[in-house]
Chain A
Amino acid sequence: MSREFENRNAPTIIKVKNIHKGFDNGAIPVLKNVTLTIKEGDIAALWGSSGSGKTTLLHLMGGLDTPDSGTIDVAGLDPTAESDRLALRRQKVGFVFQLHNLIPDLTLKENCLVTGVATGTPKSECIERFQVLAKELGIDHRQDRRIQELSGGERQRVALCRALMHRPKIILADEPTGSLDEKNGELVFEILKQLARRENVTIVMATHERRFADACDRIFQIRNGQSFEI
Protein backbone atom coordinates (compact mmCIF):
# COMPACT_ATOMS: atom_id res chain seq x y z
CA MET A 1 0.00 0.00 0.00
CA SER A 2 1.26 3.50 -0.77
CA ARG A 3 0.12 7.07 -0.97
CA GLU A 4 -1.59 7.46 -4.28
CA PHE A 5 -3.68 10.61 -4.37
CA GLU A 6 -2.74 14.25 -4.66
CA ASN A 7 -5.47 16.62 -3.60
CA ARG A 8 -3.71 19.97 -3.21
CA ASN A 9 -6.29 22.20 -4.91
CA ALA A 10 -9.41 20.87 -3.22
CA PRO A 11 -11.20 23.14 -0.73
CA THR A 12 -10.74 22.59 2.99
CA ILE A 13 -13.56 20.58 4.52
CA ILE A 14 -12.33 20.15 8.12
CA LYS A 15 -10.61 22.88 10.11
CA VAL A 16 -9.50 22.12 13.65
CA LYS A 17 -7.88 25.04 15.44
CA ASN A 18 -6.20 25.18 18.85
CA ILE A 19 -8.29 22.40 20.32
CA HIS A 20 -7.87 21.47 23.96
CA LYS A 21 -9.69 18.57 25.54
CA GLY A 22 -9.27 16.87 28.89
CA PHE A 23 -11.26 14.50 31.05
CA ASP A 24 -12.17 14.77 34.72
CA ASN A 25 -12.60 18.55 34.42
CA GLY A 26 -9.29 18.90 32.63
CA ALA A 27 -7.31 16.86 35.17
CA ILE A 28 -6.42 14.37 32.45
CA PRO A 29 -5.40 16.36 29.35
CA VAL A 30 -5.85 14.40 26.14
CA LEU A 31 -5.54 16.96 23.34
CA LYS A 32 -3.31 20.01 23.67
CA ASN A 33 -3.58 22.80 21.15
CA VAL A 34 -4.34 20.56 18.18
CA THR A 35 -4.60 22.29 14.82
CA LEU A 36 -5.10 20.58 11.47
CA THR A 37 -6.91 20.99 8.16
CA ILE A 38 -8.23 18.31 5.87
CA LYS A 39 -9.22 18.89 2.25
CA GLU A 40 -12.26 17.58 0.44
CA GLY A 41 -11.62 14.11 -0.93
CA ASP A 42 -8.63 13.47 1.35
CA ILE A 43 -8.17 10.10 2.93
CA ALA A 44 -6.48 11.17 6.14
CA ALA A 45 -5.11 9.01 8.91
CA LEU A 46 -4.97 10.01 12.56
CA TRP A 47 -2.18 7.72 13.57
CA GLY A 48 -0.93 7.09 17.06
CA SER A 49 -0.72 4.63 19.87
CA SER A 50 -3.66 3.62 22.04
CA GLY A 51 -4.75 6.39 24.36
CA SER A 52 -3.06 9.09 22.27
CA GLY A 53 -6.34 10.95 21.69
CA LYS A 54 -7.22 9.82 18.14
CA THR A 55 -10.73 8.72 19.05
CA THR A 56 -11.33 11.85 21.11
CA LEU A 57 -10.33 14.03 18.15
CA LEU A 58 -12.60 12.03 15.86
CA HIS A 59 -15.49 12.39 18.32
CA LEU A 60 -14.92 16.13 18.48
CA MET A 61 -15.01 16.38 14.68
CA GLY A 62 -18.29 14.46 14.63
CA GLY A 63 -19.91 16.48 17.42
CA LEU A 64 -20.11 13.46 19.70
CA ASP A 65 -18.13 15.36 22.30
CA THR A 66 -17.24 18.99 22.92
CA PRO A 67 -13.76 20.53 23.30
CA ASP A 68 -12.69 22.52 26.33
CA SER A 69 -11.47 25.26 24.00
CA GLY A 70 -10.68 25.86 20.36
CA THR A 71 -12.78 25.83 17.19
CA ILE A 72 -13.82 23.18 14.72
CA ASP A 73 -15.42 23.64 11.33
CA VAL A 74 -16.70 20.56 9.55
CA ALA A 75 -18.26 21.13 6.12
CA GLY A 76 -19.33 24.60 7.19
CA LEU A 77 -20.92 23.44 10.43
CA ASP A 78 -19.75 23.85 14.00
CA PRO A 79 -19.81 20.51 15.82
CA THR A 80 -19.43 22.24 19.14
CA ALA A 81 -22.78 24.01 18.65
CA GLU A 82 -25.86 22.04 19.70
CA SER A 83 -27.81 23.60 16.82
CA ASP A 84 -25.39 22.27 14.16
CA ARG A 85 -24.77 18.80 15.56
CA LEU A 86 -27.95 17.17 14.31
CA ALA A 87 -27.50 18.53 10.78
CA LEU A 88 -23.86 17.41 10.86
CA ARG A 89 -24.78 13.82 11.72
CA ARG A 90 -27.77 13.69 9.42
CA GLN A 91 -26.20 15.26 6.33
CA LYS A 92 -22.44 15.64 6.45
CA VAL A 93 -20.86 12.88 8.49
CA GLY A 94 -21.01 9.10 8.67
CA PHE A 95 -19.36 7.08 11.44
CA VAL A 96 -17.63 3.73 11.42
CA PHE A 97 -16.41 2.30 14.73
CA GLN A 98 -13.90 -0.36 15.70
CA LEU A 99 -16.62 -2.44 17.34
CA HIS A 100 -19.02 -1.62 14.47
CA ASN A 101 -21.77 -0.66 16.95
CA LEU A 102 -24.62 -2.27 15.08
CA ILE A 103 -27.97 -2.91 16.74
CA PRO A 104 -28.07 -6.64 17.48
CA ASP A 105 -31.87 -6.98 17.47
CA LEU A 106 -32.15 -5.69 13.93
CA THR A 107 -31.27 -7.36 10.64
CA LEU A 108 -28.42 -6.24 8.41
CA LYS A 109 -30.86 -4.29 6.21
CA GLU A 110 -32.72 -2.72 9.14
CA ASN A 111 -29.43 -1.54 10.64
CA CYS A 112 -28.64 0.27 7.41
CA LEU A 113 -32.10 1.85 7.20
CA VAL A 114 -31.80 3.42 10.67
CA THR A 115 -30.25 6.60 9.24
CA GLY A 116 -33.18 6.98 6.87
CA VAL A 117 -35.61 6.66 9.79
CA ALA A 118 -33.77 9.44 11.60
CA THR A 119 -33.84 11.80 8.65
CA GLY A 120 -37.35 10.88 7.51
CA THR A 121 -36.12 9.85 4.05
CA PRO A 122 -38.78 7.90 2.08
CA LYS A 123 -38.35 4.18 2.65
CA SER A 124 -38.28 3.33 -1.06
CA GLU A 125 -35.40 5.75 -1.56
CA CYS A 126 -33.50 4.24 1.36
CA ILE A 127 -34.04 0.70 0.11
CA GLU A 128 -32.83 1.65 -3.36
CA ARG A 129 -29.67 3.19 -1.92
CA PHE A 130 -29.17 0.22 0.39
CA GLN A 131 -29.42 -2.29 -2.47
CA VAL A 132 -26.72 -0.47 -4.45
CA LEU A 133 -24.34 -0.18 -1.50
CA ALA A 134 -25.01 -3.70 -0.21
CA LYS A 135 -24.18 -5.14 -3.59
CA GLU A 136 -20.95 -3.16 -3.86
CA LEU A 137 -19.97 -4.22 -0.35
CA GLY A 138 -20.86 -7.87 -1.06
CA ILE A 139 -23.41 -8.18 1.73
CA ASP A 140 -26.63 -8.06 -0.30
CA HIS A 141 -27.15 -11.83 -0.05
CA ARG A 142 -27.28 -11.63 3.77
CA GLN A 143 -29.53 -8.61 4.13
CA ASP A 144 -32.20 -10.36 6.21
CA ARG A 145 -29.74 -11.95 8.62
CA ARG A 146 -29.40 -10.73 12.16
CA ILE A 147 -26.10 -9.19 13.21
CA GLN A 148 -25.14 -12.17 15.40
CA GLU A 149 -25.20 -14.36 12.31
CA LEU A 150 -22.57 -12.28 10.49
CA SER A 151 -18.78 -12.56 10.59
CA GLY A 152 -16.60 -9.73 11.87
CA GLY A 153 -15.69 -8.62 8.33
CA GLU A 154 -19.32 -8.65 7.27
CA ARG A 155 -20.34 -6.63 10.31
CA GLN A 156 -17.76 -3.98 9.51
CA ARG A 157 -19.03 -3.82 5.92
CA VAL A 158 -22.56 -3.35 7.29
CA ALA A 159 -21.25 -0.50 9.45
CA LEU A 160 -19.66 1.01 6.35
CA CYS A 161 -22.89 0.63 4.43
CA ARG A 162 -24.83 2.34 7.23
CA ALA A 163 -22.32 5.18 7.34
CA LEU A 164 -22.69 5.80 3.60
CA MET A 165 -26.48 5.50 3.41
CA HIS A 166 -27.21 9.22 3.71
CA ARG A 167 -24.48 10.23 1.22
CA PRO A 168 -22.25 11.98 3.75
CA LYS A 169 -19.37 14.22 2.68
CA ILE A 170 -17.11 12.81 5.38
CA ILE A 171 -16.61 9.40 6.94
CA LEU A 172 -15.11 9.40 10.42
CA ALA A 173 -13.74 5.92 10.94
CA ASP A 174 -12.42 4.90 14.33
CA GLU A 175 -10.05 1.93 13.95
CA PRO A 176 -12.33 0.32 11.33
CA THR A 177 -9.85 -2.51 10.87
CA GLY A 178 -8.96 -2.84 14.55
CA SER A 179 -11.22 -5.77 15.34
CA LEU A 180 -10.50 -7.69 12.13
CA ASP A 181 -7.82 -10.15 11.09
CA GLU A 182 -5.19 -9.00 8.60
CA LYS A 183 -6.99 -10.24 5.50
CA ASN A 184 -10.39 -8.84 6.45
CA GLY A 185 -8.80 -5.62 7.70
CA GLU A 186 -7.17 -5.00 4.33
CA LEU A 187 -10.35 -5.92 2.51
CA VAL A 188 -12.45 -3.47 4.52
CA PHE A 189 -9.84 -0.75 4.13
CA GLU A 190 -9.72 -1.23 0.35
CA ILE A 191 -13.50 -1.13 0.07
CA LEU A 192 -13.55 2.01 2.20
CA LYS A 193 -11.03 3.69 -0.05
CA GLN A 194 -12.72 2.64 -3.30
CA LEU A 195 -16.12 3.82 -2.16
CA ALA A 196 -14.66 7.06 -0.88
CA ARG A 197 -13.02 7.77 -4.24
CA ARG A 198 -16.16 6.93 -6.20
CA GLU A 199 -18.55 8.81 -3.95
CA ASN A 200 -16.08 11.68 -3.44
CA VAL A 201 -16.17 11.23 0.31
CA THR A 202 -13.48 12.55 2.63
CA ILE A 203 -12.21 9.96 5.07
CA VAL A 204 -10.64 10.61 8.43
CA MET A 205 -9.50 7.33 9.89
CA ALA A 206 -8.06 6.77 13.33
CA THR A 207 -5.61 3.89 13.33
CA HIS A 208 -2.70 2.62 15.33
CA GLU A 209 -1.39 0.52 12.41
CA ARG A 210 1.28 2.25 10.41
CA ARG A 211 0.60 0.21 7.25
CA PHE A 212 -2.96 1.55 7.01
CA ALA A 213 -1.79 5.07 7.80
CA ASP A 214 0.82 4.82 5.04
CA ALA A 215 -1.89 3.89 2.57
CA CYS A 216 -3.75 7.16 3.25
CA ASP A 217 -3.21 10.46 1.41
CA ARG A 218 -2.22 12.29 4.58
CA ILE A 219 -1.03 11.20 7.98
CA PHE A 220 -1.46 13.16 11.18
CA GLN A 221 0.46 11.62 13.99
CA ILE A 222 -1.17 12.17 17.35
CA ARG A 223 1.46 12.12 20.05
CA ASN A 224 1.48 13.56 23.56
CA GLY A 225 -1.87 15.20 22.81
CA GLN A 226 -0.57 17.06 19.79
CA SER A 227 -0.88 16.60 16.04
CA PHE A 228 2.02 16.47 13.60
CA GLU A 229 1.52 15.96 9.88
CA ILE A 230 4.08 13.58 8.51
Chain B
Amino acid sequence: MLTVLSIVLGAINMFERILSNDSHYLVFERNVSDLFFSSVPEEAVEEIRKLEMVEAANPILFGLVSTEDTPVITCFGITNDDPRLDDAEWIAGDRALFGTEPQTIYLGSRAAEFAEVELGEEVPVGNDVFIIGGILKLENGFENGGVFMPLKLAQEFFSKEGYSSIVAVKLTDTELGEAFKKRVEADYPDLIALENEEFSQSYSQFKILSATAWSVGVCAFLLGGMGVANTMLMSVFSRIREIAVLRVCGFSKRQVGTMILGESFILAIFGTLAGFVFGFIALRLMSGIPQLNGYIQPVFDAAILAGVALVAFFTSAVGSFYPAWRATRIQPAEALRYE
Protein backbone atom coordinates (compact mmCIF):
# COMPACT_ATOMS: atom_id res chain seq x y z
CA MET B 1 0.00 0.00 0.00
CA LEU B 2 2.83 2.35 0.94
CA THR B 3 4.52 1.64 -2.38
CA VAL B 4 1.40 2.25 -4.45
CA LEU B 5 0.46 5.40 -2.57
CA SER B 6 3.97 6.78 -2.67
CA ILE B 7 4.24 6.22 -6.41
CA VAL B 8 0.87 7.72 -7.28
CA LEU B 9 1.02 10.59 -4.83
CA GLY B 10 4.61 11.21 -5.91
CA ALA B 11 3.43 11.35 -9.52
CA ILE B 12 0.65 13.77 -8.60
CA ASN B 13 3.12 15.85 -6.67
CA MET B 14 5.50 15.96 -9.65
CA PHE B 15 2.73 16.97 -12.01
CA GLU B 16 1.59 19.68 -9.59
CA ARG B 17 5.11 21.05 -9.52
CA ILE B 18 5.26 21.15 -13.31
CA LEU B 19 2.10 23.19 -13.37
CA SER B 20 2.87 25.44 -10.48
CA ASN B 21 6.49 26.14 -11.31
CA ASP B 22 7.12 29.61 -9.85
CA SER B 23 3.47 30.57 -10.22
CA HIS B 24 0.38 31.22 -8.09
CA TYR B 25 -2.52 30.59 -10.48
CA LEU B 26 -3.27 28.29 -13.38
CA VAL B 27 -5.53 29.35 -16.20
CA PHE B 28 -6.99 26.68 -18.46
CA GLU B 29 -10.08 25.79 -20.44
CA ARG B 30 -13.20 25.28 -18.38
CA ASN B 31 -14.82 21.83 -18.25
CA VAL B 32 -11.99 19.80 -19.81
CA SER B 33 -11.43 16.30 -18.48
CA ASP B 34 -7.69 16.48 -18.98
CA LEU B 35 -5.26 19.39 -19.37
CA PHE B 36 -3.94 17.80 -22.57
CA PHE B 37 -7.28 18.75 -24.13
CA SER B 38 -7.29 22.32 -22.80
CA SER B 39 -6.84 25.17 -25.27
CA VAL B 40 -6.05 28.69 -24.12
CA PRO B 41 -5.83 31.19 -27.02
CA GLU B 42 -2.70 33.31 -27.41
CA GLU B 43 -4.75 36.50 -27.23
CA ALA B 44 -5.91 35.51 -23.75
CA VAL B 45 -2.30 34.95 -22.70
CA GLU B 46 -1.35 38.39 -24.01
CA GLU B 47 -4.27 40.05 -22.23
CA ILE B 48 -3.44 38.28 -18.98
CA ARG B 49 0.17 39.41 -19.25
CA LYS B 50 -1.00 43.00 -19.57
CA LEU B 51 -3.00 42.92 -16.34
CA GLU B 52 -1.43 45.12 -13.64
CA MET B 53 -1.71 42.44 -10.98
CA VAL B 54 0.24 39.93 -13.12
CA GLU B 55 3.99 39.75 -12.78
CA ALA B 56 4.48 36.90 -15.27
CA ALA B 57 2.31 34.59 -17.38
CA ASN B 58 3.90 31.56 -18.98
CA PRO B 59 1.92 29.47 -21.45
CA ILE B 60 2.65 25.73 -21.64
CA LEU B 61 1.45 23.36 -24.32
CA PHE B 62 1.36 19.72 -23.28
CA GLY B 63 1.64 16.93 -25.79
CA LEU B 64 2.71 13.34 -26.08
CA VAL B 65 5.36 12.28 -28.55
CA SER B 66 6.99 8.97 -29.35
CA THR B 67 10.39 7.81 -30.54
CA GLU B 68 11.56 4.45 -31.79
CA ASP B 69 12.42 3.23 -28.31
CA THR B 70 9.88 5.09 -26.22
CA PRO B 71 6.21 5.04 -27.12
CA VAL B 72 5.20 7.88 -24.80
CA ILE B 73 7.21 10.95 -23.88
CA THR B 74 5.68 14.04 -22.36
CA CYS B 75 6.43 17.11 -24.41
CA PHE B 76 6.38 20.63 -22.99
CA GLY B 77 5.98 23.54 -25.35
CA ILE B 78 7.29 26.57 -23.46
CA THR B 79 8.37 30.15 -24.15
CA ASN B 80 11.91 31.45 -23.88
CA ASP B 81 11.16 33.24 -20.61
CA ASP B 82 9.81 30.18 -18.82
CA PRO B 83 11.46 30.05 -15.36
CA ARG B 84 12.21 26.33 -15.57
CA LEU B 85 14.79 27.00 -18.27
CA ASP B 86 16.71 29.17 -15.82
CA ASP B 87 16.18 26.80 -12.89
CA ALA B 88 17.49 23.80 -14.84
CA GLU B 89 21.10 22.71 -14.91
CA TRP B 90 22.22 22.85 -18.54
CA ILE B 91 24.33 19.73 -19.02
CA ALA B 92 24.80 20.46 -22.72
CA GLY B 93 23.76 23.33 -24.97
CA ASP B 94 23.33 27.03 -24.46
CA ARG B 95 20.40 28.43 -22.51
CA ALA B 96 20.54 31.67 -24.44
CA LEU B 97 19.92 29.88 -27.75
CA PHE B 98 16.60 28.31 -26.64
CA GLY B 99 14.02 28.85 -29.34
CA THR B 100 16.36 30.64 -31.72
CA GLU B 101 17.29 27.69 -33.94
CA PRO B 102 14.88 25.86 -36.25
CA GLN B 103 13.74 22.23 -35.67
CA THR B 104 15.58 22.16 -32.38
CA ILE B 105 14.33 20.44 -29.26
CA TYR B 106 15.75 20.08 -25.75
CA LEU B 107 15.75 16.91 -23.69
CA GLY B 108 15.53 16.24 -19.99
CA SER B 109 18.69 14.43 -18.87
CA ARG B 110 16.88 11.11 -18.15
CA ALA B 111 15.23 11.21 -21.56
CA ALA B 112 18.62 11.85 -23.19
CA GLU B 113 20.22 9.01 -21.22
CA PHE B 114 17.48 6.62 -22.15
CA ALA B 115 17.50 7.62 -25.84
CA GLU B 116 21.34 7.58 -25.80
CA VAL B 117 21.58 10.85 -27.72
CA GLU B 118 23.94 13.78 -27.42
CA LEU B 119 23.96 17.46 -28.26
CA GLY B 120 23.66 18.15 -31.99
CA GLU B 121 22.39 14.69 -32.88
CA GLU B 122 19.29 14.23 -34.96
CA VAL B 123 16.41 12.27 -33.48
CA PRO B 124 13.21 11.19 -35.13
CA VAL B 125 10.16 12.24 -33.11
CA GLY B 126 6.80 11.24 -34.51
CA ASN B 127 6.95 11.91 -38.23
CA ASP B 128 9.61 14.63 -37.93
CA VAL B 129 13.32 14.74 -37.26
CA PHE B 130 14.69 17.22 -34.72
CA ILE B 131 18.13 18.35 -33.65
CA ILE B 132 19.09 18.13 -29.98
CA GLY B 133 19.80 21.72 -28.96
CA GLY B 134 20.42 21.08 -25.28
CA ILE B 135 20.17 18.63 -22.41
CA LEU B 136 18.72 19.87 -19.15
CA LYS B 137 18.83 18.37 -15.70
CA LEU B 138 15.64 19.19 -13.82
CA GLU B 139 14.52 18.22 -10.36
CA ASN B 140 11.12 17.07 -11.47
CA GLY B 141 11.03 13.48 -12.74
CA PHE B 142 8.38 14.12 -15.37
CA GLU B 143 10.30 17.11 -16.76
CA ASN B 144 13.61 15.27 -16.57
CA GLY B 145 12.17 12.45 -18.63
CA GLY B 146 10.46 14.81 -21.08
CA VAL B 147 11.08 16.80 -24.23
CA PHE B 148 11.04 20.62 -24.32
CA MET B 149 10.11 22.46 -27.43
CA PRO B 150 9.86 26.16 -28.07
CA LEU B 151 6.14 26.96 -27.88
CA LYS B 152 5.80 27.88 -31.57
CA LEU B 153 7.46 24.65 -32.68
CA ALA B 154 5.24 22.63 -30.33
CA GLN B 155 2.12 24.38 -31.62
CA GLU B 156 3.09 23.47 -35.21
CA PHE B 157 4.02 19.91 -34.28
CA PHE B 158 0.76 19.27 -32.45
CA SER B 159 -1.30 21.33 -34.93
CA LYS B 160 -2.44 23.69 -32.19
CA GLU B 161 -1.27 26.95 -33.64
CA GLY B 162 -2.22 29.90 -31.48
CA TYR B 163 -3.02 27.84 -28.40
CA SER B 164 -1.43 26.61 -25.21
CA SER B 165 -2.78 24.09 -22.70
CA ILE B 166 -2.42 26.22 -19.60
CA VAL B 167 -1.02 29.53 -18.47
CA ALA B 168 0.98 29.58 -15.25
CA VAL B 169 0.47 33.02 -13.72
CA LYS B 170 2.60 34.72 -11.10
CA LEU B 171 0.91 37.66 -9.40
CA THR B 172 2.55 40.79 -8.06
CA ASP B 173 0.67 40.23 -4.81
CA THR B 174 -1.07 36.99 -3.80
CA GLU B 175 -3.74 39.09 -2.03
CA LEU B 176 -4.97 39.99 -5.49
CA GLY B 177 -5.77 36.37 -6.32
CA GLU B 178 -9.54 36.61 -6.03
CA ALA B 179 -9.62 39.76 -8.15
CA PHE B 180 -7.48 38.08 -10.80
CA LYS B 181 -9.70 35.05 -10.84
CA LYS B 182 -12.85 37.11 -11.26
CA ARG B 183 -11.26 39.20 -13.99
CA VAL B 184 -10.17 36.20 -16.06
CA GLU B 185 -13.48 34.46 -15.72
CA ALA B 186 -15.34 37.66 -16.60
CA ASP B 187 -13.23 38.36 -19.69
CA TYR B 188 -13.00 34.73 -20.83
CA PRO B 189 -16.04 32.69 -19.83
CA ASP B 190 -14.53 29.59 -21.44
CA LEU B 191 -11.49 29.77 -19.16
CA ILE B 192 -11.07 29.15 -15.47
CA ALA B 193 -8.39 30.41 -13.09
CA LEU B 194 -7.56 28.34 -10.06
CA GLU B 195 -5.05 28.84 -7.31
CA ASN B 196 -2.45 26.05 -7.43
CA GLU B 197 -3.70 24.36 -4.27
CA GLU B 198 -7.31 24.71 -5.36
CA PHE B 199 -6.41 23.15 -8.68
CA SER B 200 -4.71 20.15 -7.03
CA GLN B 201 -7.78 19.50 -4.94
CA SER B 202 -10.28 19.82 -7.76
CA TYR B 203 -8.50 18.38 -10.79
CA SER B 204 -10.38 15.22 -11.62
CA GLN B 205 -7.32 13.33 -12.87
CA PHE B 206 -5.59 13.80 -9.54
CA LYS B 207 -8.75 12.69 -7.75
CA ILE B 208 -9.02 9.58 -9.92
CA LEU B 209 -5.36 8.73 -9.44
CA SER B 210 -5.55 9.27 -5.72
CA ALA B 211 -8.77 7.28 -5.37
CA THR B 212 -7.27 4.47 -7.45
CA ALA B 213 -4.17 4.41 -5.29
CA TRP B 214 -6.20 4.22 -2.10
CA SER B 215 -8.49 1.57 -3.61
CA VAL B 216 -5.57 -0.61 -4.70
CA GLY B 217 -3.96 -0.02 -1.33
CA VAL B 218 -7.09 -0.96 0.57
CA CYS B 219 -7.45 -4.12 -1.57
CA ALA B 220 -3.85 -4.94 -0.70
CA PHE B 221 -4.74 -4.50 2.93
CA LEU B 222 -7.84 -6.65 2.66
CA LEU B 223 -5.55 -9.37 1.34
CA GLY B 224 -3.23 -8.60 4.23
CA GLY B 225 -6.18 -8.90 6.61
CA MET B 226 -7.03 -12.29 5.18
CA GLY B 227 -3.37 -13.21 5.60
CA VAL B 228 -3.48 -12.21 9.26
CA ALA B 229 -6.75 -14.11 9.74
CA ASN B 230 -5.32 -17.18 8.03
CA THR B 231 -2.07 -17.06 10.00
CA MET B 232 -3.85 -16.61 13.31
CA LEU B 233 -6.44 -19.26 12.49
CA MET B 234 -3.65 -21.72 11.67
CA SER B 235 -1.96 -20.70 14.88
CA VAL B 236 -5.15 -21.32 16.88
CA PHE B 237 -5.75 -24.71 15.26
CA SER B 238 -2.16 -25.83 15.73
CA ARG B 239 -2.27 -24.78 19.40
CA ILE B 240 -5.70 -26.10 20.20
CA ARG B 241 -4.34 -28.34 22.95
CA GLU B 242 -2.18 -25.57 24.37
CA ILE B 243 -5.18 -23.24 24.53
CA ALA B 244 -7.16 -25.98 26.27
CA VAL B 245 -4.36 -26.35 28.81
CA LEU B 246 -4.45 -22.60 29.46
CA ARG B 247 -8.20 -22.83 30.04
CA VAL B 248 -7.61 -25.74 32.44
CA CYS B 249 -5.03 -23.61 34.27
CA GLY B 250 -7.60 -20.89 34.85
CA PHE B 251 -7.43 -18.68 31.78
CA SER B 252 -10.81 -17.12 31.09
CA LYS B 253 -12.27 -16.91 27.60
CA ARG B 254 -11.49 -13.21 27.63
CA GLN B 255 -7.84 -13.86 28.52
CA VAL B 256 -7.52 -16.38 25.68
CA GLY B 257 -9.17 -13.97 23.21
CA THR B 258 -6.96 -11.11 24.36
CA MET B 259 -3.88 -13.30 23.99
CA ILE B 260 -4.74 -14.11 20.35
CA LEU B 261 -5.57 -10.47 19.58
CA GLY B 262 -2.30 -9.40 21.22
CA GLU B 263 -0.34 -11.85 19.08
CA SER B 264 -2.10 -10.48 15.99
CA PHE B 265 -1.14 -6.93 16.93
CA ILE B 266 2.48 -7.96 17.39
CA LEU B 267 2.27 -9.64 13.97
CA ALA B 268 0.76 -6.42 12.59
CA ILE B 269 3.52 -4.26 14.08
CA PHE B 270 6.27 -6.40 12.56
CA GLY B 271 4.31 -6.74 9.30
CA THR B 272 3.88 -2.98 9.06
CA LEU B 273 7.54 -2.32 9.82
CA ALA B 274 8.63 -4.96 7.33
CA GLY B 275 6.20 -3.50 4.77
CA PHE B 276 7.66 -0.03 5.29
CA VAL B 277 11.21 -1.31 4.89
CA PHE B 278 10.48 -3.45 1.82
CA GLY B 279 8.28 -0.75 0.30
CA PHE B 280 10.99 1.84 0.81
CA ILE B 281 13.63 -0.43 -0.74
CA ALA B 282 11.33 -1.25 -3.69
CA LEU B 283 10.68 2.44 -4.31
CA ARG B 284 14.37 3.30 -4.14
CA LEU B 285 15.16 0.54 -6.62
CA MET B 286 12.32 1.55 -8.96
CA SER B 287 13.25 5.20 -8.90
CA GLY B 288 16.72 4.20 -10.11
CA ILE B 289 15.48 2.21 -13.13
CA PRO B 290 16.38 4.24 -16.26
CA GLN B 291 13.44 2.79 -18.24
CA LEU B 292 11.09 4.59 -15.87
CA ASN B 293 12.64 7.91 -16.94
CA GLY B 294 12.69 9.08 -13.33
CA TYR B 295 8.91 9.19 -13.26
CA ILE B 296 8.90 7.62 -9.84
CA GLN B 297 9.68 10.15 -7.17
CA PRO B 298 8.27 8.60 -4.02
CA VAL B 299 6.59 10.78 -1.45
CA PHE B 300 6.77 9.78 2.21
CA ASP B 301 4.80 12.14 4.33
CA ALA B 302 3.64 11.66 7.88
CA ALA B 303 -0.02 11.49 6.86
CA ILE B 304 0.63 8.59 4.44
CA LEU B 305 2.71 6.68 6.97
CA ALA B 306 0.13 7.26 9.71
CA GLY B 307 -2.71 6.29 7.36
CA VAL B 308 -0.96 3.12 6.29
CA ALA B 309 -0.15 2.18 9.90
CA LEU B 310 -3.73 2.86 10.95
CA VAL B 311 -5.19 0.74 8.15
CA ALA B 312 -2.68 -2.01 8.99
CA PHE B 313 -3.82 -2.13 12.61
CA PHE B 314 -7.48 -1.92 11.68
CA THR B 315 -7.01 -4.76 9.18
CA SER B 316 -5.15 -6.91 11.68
CA ALA B 317 -7.83 -6.26 14.30
CA VAL B 318 -10.59 -7.32 11.91
CA GLY B 319 -8.50 -10.23 10.61
CA SER B 320 -7.75 -11.54 14.07
CA PHE B 321 -11.24 -11.19 15.50
CA TYR B 322 -12.52 -14.47 14.09
CA PRO B 323 -9.46 -16.55 15.16
CA ALA B 324 -9.70 -14.98 18.63
CA TRP B 325 -13.39 -15.82 18.82
CA ARG B 326 -12.69 -19.38 17.69
CA ALA B 327 -10.03 -19.69 20.38
CA THR B 328 -12.53 -18.69 23.06
CA ARG B 329 -14.95 -21.38 21.86
CA ILE B 330 -12.48 -24.23 22.39
CA GLN B 331 -13.90 -26.76 24.83
CA PRO B 332 -11.06 -27.99 27.06
CA ALA B 333 -12.28 -31.60 27.37
CA GLU B 334 -12.76 -31.92 23.63
CA ALA B 335 -9.45 -30.23 22.84
CA LEU B 336 -7.52 -32.41 25.25
CA ARG B 337 -8.75 -35.44 23.33
CA TYR B 338 -7.53 -33.75 20.12
CA GLU B 339 -4.35 -35.21 18.65
User: A residues near B, CB below 8 A?
Assistant: 59, 62, 64-65, 86, 89-90, 95, 97, 101-103, 114-115, 117-119, 162, 166
Contact = CB atoms under 8 A, between A and B. Distances in A.
B241 interface: yes
Nearest to A63: B332
A89 B336 contact: no
B199 to A, nearest CB: 58
A90 B250 CA distance: 5
A170 to B, nearest CB: 13
Given A59-B333, A101-B336, A118-B255, A64 B242 contact: no
B331 A65 contact: yes
B251 interface: yes
Nearest to B254: A86
A102 B242 CA distance: 8
A117 B248 CA distance: 13
18 contacts: A59-B332, A62-B248, A64-B332, A65-B331, A65-B334, A86-B250, A86-B252, A89-B247, A89-B248, A89-B250, A97-B336, A101-B245, A103-B245, A114-B249, A117-B251, A118-B246, A118-B249, A166-B250
Contacts of A103: 242, 245-246
The 9 lowest CB-CB distance pairs between A and B, nearest first, are A118-B250, A65-B333, A90-B250, A64-B333, A64-B332, A59-B333, A118-B251, A89-B250, A115-B249
A162 B333 contact: no
Contacts of B244: 101
A95 B242 contact: no
A216 B255 CA distance: 37
A117 B259 CA distance: 12
Nearest to B247: A89
Contacts of A65: 331-334
A52 to B, nearest CB: 16
B331 A115 contact: no
Nearest to B252: A86
A65 B334 CA distance: 8
A64 B250 contact: no
Interface in B228-256: 241-242, 244-252, 255
Interface residues of B, dominant DSSP: helix
Nearest to B242: A103
Given A101-B241, A101-B245, A103-B242, A119 B250 contact: yes
B250 A115 contact: yes
Given A86-B252, A101-B241, A114-B245, 9 more contacts: A62-B248, A65-B332, A65-B333, A101-B245, A101-B336, A115-B249, A115-B250, A118-B249, A166-B250
Contacts of A166: 250
Contacts of A62: 248
A144 B262 CA distance: 25
Contacts of B246: 103, 114, 118
A86 B255 CA distance: 12
A101 to B, nearest CB: 5
B1 to A, nearest CB: 32
A64 B331 CA distance: 7
B250 A95 contact: no
A117 B247 CA distance: 12
Contacts of B334: 65
B252 A64 contact: no
A28 to B, nearest CB: 13
A65 B331 CA distance: 8
Contacts of B252: 86, 118
Contacts of B248: 62, 64, 89, 95, 101
A113 to B, nearest CB: 10
A117 B331 CA distance: 20
Contacts of A95: 248-249
Contacts of B245: 101-103, 114
Contacts of B332: 59, 64-65
Nearest to B251: A118
Max count, chain B CB within 10 A of own CB: residue among A62, A101, A166: A101
A114 B249 CA distance: 7
